[in-house]
């Protein structure tokens, strides 16, 4: 087994062709800052091009979180133009995952909020541990999901449930996530990786070209261009007082007081 070195990611390339990518920023609950996003992009590109890696499993370091979202500290100072650019950048990285030529499995081992839920939704299969909590709480910060969440949640769970979750910002526990088909499986924490490895090995018995084309074919059933709209709206929200108030309130550990401006 060999492993590549990143600042915020741990990557294990197993001899059997399975790679395990661990988002490794546990002191911030693996929140996605700019540097981490860049590394994630590079790691996924390397996986996709690798002749030795056949399936990628993505999980989070520590016992609390898969990924607790985009880094709110970085978000809090975004201008509208920067927000739109960041949204498009996040979308591009997560699109790379969704369009990978080989299967990518998310092992959601705790909080998967905001960008964390969006990352998991970009993967082809989702396995949640029993303590997982999955949601898109962006409106509580005065923004909307900007890394593809408005599009992918709607496709995965349908319009009415997606609107309920996005407009309330309420997260769902693992059992409800399974019931609404947001995740494929729920397992105890110590059994989830075993299931991910079992599914990976089963997929690897099949023709690699067929897997690649199957991923493309299934996505063709869901193609739409709402992503561009999401990025524009995300950028517009970064100009609002409500967004400044929402992110400041989180960083100052107090309740936000929105004025609707």
What is the closest distance, in whole angstroms, from the C-beta atom of residue 207 to ligand COA in the complex?
A: 39
To the nearest whole angstrom, how small is the minimum distance from the Cβ of residue 46 to ligand COA? Answer: 26
Neighbouring C-beta atoms of residue 174, cutoff 10 Å: 21
Tell me if residue 39 is catalytic.
Answer: no
Q: How far is the CB of 154 from ligand COA (least distance, A)?
A: 18
Catalytic residue among 118, 191, 239, 252: 118
User: Cβ closer to ligand COA: 103 or 110?
Assistant: 110
How many CB atoms sit inside 10 A of residue 83's CB? 23
Cβ proximity to ligand COA, 111 vs 227, nearer residue: 111
Q: Is 138 a catalytic residue?
A: yes
Q: How far is the CB of 73 from ligand COA (least distance, A)?
A: 5
Distance CA 175, CA 217 (A): 29
The beta-strand segments (E) located in 24-123 are 55-60, 65-67, 104-108, 111-113
Residue 84 burial (CB count, 10 A): 22
Cβ proximity to ligand COA, 54 vs 87, nearer residue: 87
Residues in contact with ligand COA by CB under 6 A are: 28-29, 31, 68-73, 111, 113-115, 137-138, 141
Q: What angle do CA 148, 36, 147 make, to 5 degrees?
A: 5
| Catalytic residue (one of 46, 138, 164, 176) | 138
| Rounded Cα gap, residues 39 and 135, in angstroms | 24
- The residues with which 129 forms a beta bridge, in sequence order, are 187
Catalytic residues: 118, 138
């Amino acid at each position: 087994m060999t492993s590549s070195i990143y600042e915020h990611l741990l990557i294990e390339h197993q001899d059997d062709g399975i790679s395990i990518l661990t988002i490794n920023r546990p002191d911030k609950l693996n929140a996605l800052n700019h540097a981490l996003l860049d590394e994630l992009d590079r790691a996924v590109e390397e996986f996709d091009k690798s002749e030795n890696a056949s399936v990628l499993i993505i999980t989070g370091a520590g016992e609390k979180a898969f990924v607790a979202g985009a880094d709110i500290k970085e978000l809090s100072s975004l201008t509208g133009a920067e927000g739109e650019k960041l949204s498009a950048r996040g979308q591009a990285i997560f699109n790379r995952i969704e369009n990978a030529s080989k299967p990518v499995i998310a092992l959601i081992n705790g909080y998967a909020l905001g960008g964390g839920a969006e990352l998991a939704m970009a993967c082809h299969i989702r396995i949640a541990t029993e303590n997982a909590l999955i949601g898109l709480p962006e409106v509580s910060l005065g923004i909307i999901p900007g890394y593809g969440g408005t599009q992918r949640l709607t496709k995965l769970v349908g319009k009415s449930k997606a609107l309920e979750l996005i407009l309330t910002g309420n997260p769902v526990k693992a059992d409800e996530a399974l019931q609404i088909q947001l995740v494929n499986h729920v397992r105890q924490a110590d059994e989830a990786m075993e299931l991910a490895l079992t599914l990976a090995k089963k997929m690897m018995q099949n023709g690699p070209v067929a897997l690649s084309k199957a991923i493309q074919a299934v996505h063709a059933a869901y193609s739409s261009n709402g992503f561009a709209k999401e990025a524009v709206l995300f950028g517009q929200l970064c100009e609002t007082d409500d967004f400044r108030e929402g992110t400041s309130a989180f960083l100052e550990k107090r309740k936000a007081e929105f004025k609707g401006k």
